[in-house]
């Protein structure tokens, strides 16, 4: 994942957005045609994360942000699938690979990841 050490709130070009959405260089866009604007998603989650059932007031948005970004990245990759049809072991492995800059363990992050994915899937 391309989250490591970058503030994703400034991504603006469509090329940069696709790279940061988790496509490795040379990979094509997802076949379902999703073109998710991370800036829109980031604003939504920044405003709404405290209302979520998994929210802990000791955890700041900057801690949840990589999980929301990962959920968005997953949607870009698997957007045609229901979240529950993606193997949890694959989800966990992906989180473990990219979480170097994230404070949350998978057990805490997975709720925000799913929330971000399903927000996009259900729109």
User: What is the model's pLDDT at position 26?
Assistant: 31
pLDDT at 31 over 80: no
Q: What are phi and psi of 80, to 5 degrees?
A: -85, -10
41-88 pLDDT, tens digit each: 999 999 999 999 999 999 999 999 999 999 999 999 998 899 999 999
pLDDT at 7 over 50: no
Give the whole-number percent of the chain exceeding pLDDT 70. Answer: 72
Exposure string for 36-68, b = 16+ CB within 10 A, e = fewer: bebeebbeebeeebeeeeeeeeebeeebbbbbb
pLDDT at 17 over 60: no
pLDDT band at 21 (very low <50, low <70, confident <90, very high): very low
pLDDT band at 12 (very low <50, low <70, confident <90, very high): very low
User: What is the model's pLDDT at position 98?
Assistant: 83
Q: What is the mean pLDDT of the chain?
A: 77
pLDDT band at 101 (very low <50, low <70, confident <90, very high): low
The length of the chain, given as a count of residues? 123
Plot region of 43 (φ>0 → left; ψ -120 to 50 → alpha; else → beta): alpha
């Amino acid at each position: 994942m391309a989250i490591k050490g970058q503030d994703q709130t400034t991504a603006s070009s469509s090329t940069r957005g696709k790279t940061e959405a988790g496509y490795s260089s040379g990979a094509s866009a997802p076949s379902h045609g999703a073109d998710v604007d991370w800036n829109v998603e980031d604003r939504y989650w920044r405003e709404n994360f405290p209302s979520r059932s998994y929210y802990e007031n000791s955890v700041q948005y900057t801690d949840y942000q990589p999980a929301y970004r990962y959920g968005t990245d997953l949607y870009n990759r698997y957007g045609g699938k229901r979240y529950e049809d993606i193997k949890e072991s694959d989800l966990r492995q992906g989180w473990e690979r990219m979480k170097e800059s994230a404070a949350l363990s998978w057990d805490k992050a997975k709720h925000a990841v799913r929330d971000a994915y399903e927000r996009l899937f259900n729109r």
